[in-house]
Structure 1
Amino acid sequence: MSMMHPARGGGMRDESVLRDRNRQAPEIPDLWRRVAALFAPYRGTLILAIVLVLITAALGVAPALLTKQAFDVGLFPAANSGPNLEALWWIVGAMVLVLIGNAAIAVWQTWLTSKVGNSVTADLRVQLFERLQTMELAFFARTKTGEIQSRLQNDVGGVANTLQSTFTSIVGNIVSTIASLVAMFVLSWQLAILAIIVMPPLIILQRRVGQRRARIATRTQESLSAMTAMTQEQLSVSGVLLTKTLGREQAASAAYREANQHQVRLQLEQAMAGQSFFAFVSVVMALVPVLIYVVTGYLISGGADLTAGTIVAFTTVNGQLRRPLIGLMRTGLDIQTSKSLFARIFEYLMLQPAVVDAADAVEIDPARVGGVEFRDVAFRYPDTRPEDPPTLRGISFAAHPGEFVAFVGPSGAGKSTIAYLAARLYDATGGAVLFAGVDVRQCKREQIVANIGMVSQESYLVHDTIAANLRLAKPGASDDELIEACRKASIHEQIMSFPEGYETIVGERGYRLSGGEKQRIAIARVLLKDPAVLVLDEATSALDAVSERHVQAAIDEASRGRTVIAIAHRLSTVRHADTIHVLDRGAIVERGTHESLLQRGGAYAALYAESVSESEAGS
């Protein structure tokens, strides 16, 4: 079909990701405003956390100032006099209280910031999942499942630390830095200028390091996405079956090993980016006290009034300045790194689905439900080239309530596309599709979904019990309703033959069941939904003769009293259709009943003769 894409080799690395070392994250307008908006529901808790951060930051310089008092008032109150023990006890007691109080407040603040951060992370993951749920089928047809999973798990997980601690860390480190600088200027403005003169060059260097880390982070996440996609493809039941039947286990493992080694190299590169810078910063900050001692000697020689307590307090505060200053630089690097991850996340959050309800959508008339009409419909898939022929052109037909309408034709004629358009999984690019007499683009999609049921060639079952799979169509269905639907679908007796009956786990994609059993469960699920329109997309083409008979009997039961649009490969399944439409190269070339089309001796007669020959050859 036109929507299919050339298959990428399972386990092959994405060469463009490996080669492009300058790959940039997508540009998202107002990115940081969007990130800040995530915290809006937790504004009160965040404000309280920030207040606590301010308190702990302010109290952080108190021990250094109390140290000066301990020296100048407690230990050496005056020349040729002993220590003032009473004052010393008061000062030491104040230092202990400050330390204990600061520690307790820090624990409270950490709990609050973790709560906010984890809540925002959870909200972000849910928003991303909900946005993906709104996207049209074409998006998932062109996007690897592993890529989507990587955005939900790896990218959101990658920014979790930023969401949990960065904002309060910035506030705390800024306040601690300011408080330390103020204390240093109070103690000695000359020494304070000496201590901060090295900062501007370090900040400029930090920015350059951050830009490099951001580029590496983008490449790392894209490599991780490729690995996630490889894992999803190779380790699914279908992927394992393909690998084993082709004897590709070693090749798949080798490809995964190569991709994993590339990921390790990127992770190492990202981890080491900036380590030399921070080692340099640590050395510079450690050398500052050495310069302070030397300059202090010259200042005292020049008559400056600097006591031993002042020098001890100043070097203590300077040592405390190193932690928030390096913390700010690390946070700056984390923000620059997380920017690429946020950009990848918001790239998906900003996606706009192609199939949406119109602002002036109308209610469907219940009396007309069941009618489906195509008026001069044309369609081409979004990712096709302009020079490629359209998938459908000039398609017109009407299926009235209760009618059985079939579509047959060679592979690639556009049959399944008609099923997708009828269910509004895509919107027509020309003409109009009408449901209950209303253009589907003017209908509320939930009403279309409620009134249409689809059974495809490869019905999907989730890794859960048979009962849970059935209740996807009607969550509140009783056991009796499940049994009635399964009886009509000719599958109840088979289910009851399983040791666990309706509580049998079907396995991933229903691989513990046969093809016929899966199809009949899917039909029972549709019967439970009880739609007015039933769309059958080659529901029996992949089955053996025995399974086909069982499934066809279930389809006949499901079709009673409903409008049926059947896409058929085996013409024997649609012989009794009210109207059969023959498609070729996206256009209807014949239409009529089975008998009238045979008498015409055209395209349908040729298809029927071919199917009879295949049936006889198979027997």
Structure 2
Amino acid sequence: MNPHSRDIDWTPPPKDPERPADVRRILRLFRPYRWRLTVVLLLVAASSLVSIASPFLLRAILDTAIPHGRTGLLSLLALGMIATAVITSVFGVLQTLISTTVGQRVMHDLRAAVYAQLQRMSLSFFTRTRTGEVQSRIANDIGGMQATVTNTATSIVSNTTSVIASIVAMLALDWRLTVASLLLLPVFVSISRRVGRERRKITAQRQKQMAAMSAIVTESLSVSGILLGRTMGRADSLTRAFEAESEQLVSLEVRSDMAGRWRMSTISIVMAAMPALIYWAAGIALHFGGPTISIGTLVAFVSLQQGLFRPTVSLLQTGVQVQTSIALFQRIFEYLDLPVEITERPDPIRLEEVRGDVRFENVDFRYDADASEPNLSSVDVTVPAGGSLAIVGATGSGKSTLSYLVPRLYDVTAGRVTIDGVDVRDLSFDTLSRAVGVVSQETYLFHASVAENLRFAKPDATDEELAAAARAAQIHDHIAALPDGYDTVVGERGYRFSGGEKQRLAIARTILRDPPVLILDEATSALDTRTEHAVQDAIDALAAGRTTITIAHRLSTVRDADQIVVLDHGRIVERGKHDELLAMGGRYAELVRRDARLAPQDAEPAAPKQELAALDAAG
């Protein structure tokens, strides 16, 4: 993150119902760059003031130099007009360079802040938010603010300076013409504000529609989405759905561009007609014996008037743009203001050495605080360092939820989870991430090389360490046989590898991390029996000497666990060793019998024949 972004106070200010939402917050984004902006504003002001000199030079040429044949003065005045143009252009280039740089830095700060905020969000946020929506906030919303954050400040100062300087100069030339020229300005300002409010509402709708399209693209054009669409024969319907969303976006884009267009065009027409009216008024006044205005003064005044109207129109358009962009800022601030549920305490405990004692002390947990029944209730389990715990139960019984509490993917509602006697909520995030490793059923691999995927766990790992971890996970020989070895790109979500190969890569990655506590969340349940045996061997190598908590669907993988607990609707209904639980003939025995019936005919049964016979006799 840009070091300047640390200077920004991202906390929302108190809401002021009388002012446009978040305006003060938007201004605070520019605070780290105030000195650069000061230089820009000085350049802009100087450029505007210099440009005002041209009409006076023109008046002197028309009223003095040409009528009196003063060629020397004419040359000087002409050179002055050329110098004015050169100075204005140089100042313009410099202020554009600085202002564009500042604008891009502000956008960078916003992108980095939103990304960092999302990294702090709990797992529940991502389970209820579409991926495309998140991407749209970072890409479309922040990208849509580029013109505002890059040009708005300089445009306002430049045009305001030009307007003020032009009015002063016009008053110096003829105050009556100046008053006539300014009569319609309040009407123009009122019209532009109404147009801005219209476009702001449409912009909010447009960004929501773009987010919906991003979600469709992200979900349907991923590898998984393409496979699902093709195998279900839904490619055409997905295309039609995307076209329908795109059609709505077309309508919103047209409405946004056309909102108030006729009214703003009317303003431009009136302003373009004003010079003709000035010439007409001056001619009528002269015809009827009114005050005489020299040709030079009249031409200079009309030139200044155009210098007034151009920045005035630009200011009105900038006001419309700012109001439109506020809708984008609000969407970004919504994400920045999301409550972070999982936070690190101000003075966290940092453990240099972690033995791996894990305990669930009377744990309750609810995904929804308003739910009538907890997802976990009164769970009390101790896993000594180096010991193994297996958690089994029917689908939806709370097995994975219980394991998520150890690495603080969620926080308990009541009770506590401890590692080496320390509540995980009191541990530093760094200590917790070093202490707990997770291997889940769905292995995620980045679209990068094998080596880069492995080094995600340990960025400074040497090639030798990568190879050693891969050997322990029984995947080194396969990687070495690939055309590019460890430099082979795994493909989107690792689709160049089979399920068992991806699991072994995930295990190798966890071996590199070397955590004392290991969570195995149904790591082999999606694999065929033969692949499961190969992966299980790698898991056994990984689990050796570590505290291991295994979430098991196939009970054949947990027969040797030091302790097995059976969950039912979030409560522990049985606990003990494999043989003890079989002898009880309760819920665990039912699960073993289920596994035996579902086991493939050519595979090793989930329980030995004598166990099945005993179960049948008991039941």
Fold shared per TM-score above 0.5: yes
Question: 2:469 matched to 1:513?
Answer: no
Deviant stretches of 4+, over 2 Å: 26-30, 297-303, 359-366, 384-387, 616-619
| 8 Å contact kept, 1:28–1:343 | no
Q: How many residue pairs align between the two structures? A: 586
RCO higher in structure (CA 8 A, sep ≥6): 1
Map 1:175-254 → 2, pairs under 5 A: 175-254=161-240
Q: What is the deviation of 1:302?
A: 4.1
SS in 2 for 1:422: coil
| Runs of 5+ unmatched residues, structure 2 | 1-16, 604-619
1:28–1:554 distance in 2 versus 1, CA, 3 Å: farther
Q: What is the deviation of 1:28?
A: 11
User: Partner of 1:417 in structure 2?
Assistant: 401
Which whole-Å CA distance do the structure 2 matches of 1:320 and 1:47 have between them?
A: 24
Question: 2:61 matched to 1:70?
Answer: yes
More off after superposition, 116-125 vs 550-559: 116-125
Which whole-Å CA distance do the structure 1 matches of 2:166 and 2:122 have between them?
A: 55
Map 1:76-115 → 2, pairs under 5 A: 76-77=67-68, 83-115=69-101
| 8 Å contact kept, 1:234–1:240 | yes
Which whole-Å CA distance do the structure 1 matches of 2:601 and 2:361 have between them?
A: 40
User: Partner of 2:301 in structure 1?
Assistant: 314
1:29–1:143 distance in 2 versus 1, CA, 3 Å: farther
Which whole-Å CA distance do the structure 1 matches of 2:413 and 2:399 have between them?
A: 16
Which whole-Å CA distance do the structure 1 matches of 2:107 and 2:432 have between them?
A: 34
Question: 2:339 matched to 1:352?
Answer: yes
| 8 Å contact kept, 1:27–1:343 | no
Which whole-Å CA distance do the structure 1 matches of 2:303 and 2:362 have between them?
A: 82
| Runs of 5+ unmatched residues, structure 1 | 1-25, 78-82
Deviations 1:340-391 (A, max 9, x none): 000101111122310011224323373x530111111111114x7533x221
Which whole-Å CA distance do the structure 2 matches of 1:74 and 1:618 have between them?
A: 108
Which whole-Å CA distance do the structure 1 matches of 2:536 and 2:352 have between them?
A: 32
User: Partner of 2:456 in structure 1?
Assistant: 472
User: Partner of 1:293 in structure 2?
Assistant: 279
Map 1:263-412 → 2, pairs under 5 A: 263-300=249-286, 301-364=288-351, 366=353, 369-382=355-368, 385-387=370-372, 389-412=373-396
| 8 Å contact kept, 1:598–1:605 | yes
Map 1:456-495 → 2, pairs under 5 A: 456-495=440-479
In the alignment, residue 516 of structure 2 is paired with which amino acid?
Answer: A
The TM-score normalised by the length of structure 1 is 0.93
User: Partner of 2:7 in structure 1?
Assistant: none
Report the aligned-residue RMSD.
1.6
Deviations 1:287-312 (A, max 9, x none): 21222123223443444241111111
**Which of 542, 547, 557 does residue 541 from structure 2 map onto?**
557
Which whole-Å CA distance do the structure 2 matches of 1:454 and 1:226 have between them?
A: 32
| 8 Å contact kept, 1:28–1:346 | no
Which whole-Å CA distance do the structure 2 matches of 1:393 and 1:166 have between them?
A: 56
SS in 1 for 2:326: helix
Which whole-Å CA distance do the structure 2 matches of 1:459 and 1:530 have between them?
A: 18
User: Partner of 1:117 in structure 2?
Assistant: 103
Which whole-Å CA distance do the structure 2 matches of 1:584 and 1:605 have between them?
A: 14
In the alignment, residue 35 of structure 2 is paired with which amino acid?
Answer: G
User: Partner of 2:14 in structure 1?
Assistant: none
Q: What is the deviation of 1:30?
A: 6.3
More off after superposition, 32-41 vs 66-75: 32-41
Map 1:523-562 → 2, pairs under 5 A: 523-562=507-546
In the alignment, residue 594 of structure 2 is paired with which amino acid?
Answer: E
Question: 2:146 matched to 1:160?
Answer: yes
Q: What is the deviation of 1:584?
A: 0.6
| 8 Å contact kept, 1:456–1:538 | yes
User: Partner of 1:607 in structure 2?
Assistant: 591
User: Partner of 1:174 in structure 2?
Assistant: 160
The TM-score normalised by the length of structure 2 is 0.93
User: Partner of 1:33 in structure 2?
Assistant: 24
**Which of 42, 47, 51 does residue 42 from structure 2 map onto?**
51
User: Partner of 1:576 in structure 2?
Assistant: 560
SS in 1 for 2:405: helix
Deviations 1:500-534 (A, max 9, x none): 11111111111110000000000010001000000
1:28–1:558 distance in 2 versus 1, CA, 3 Å: farther
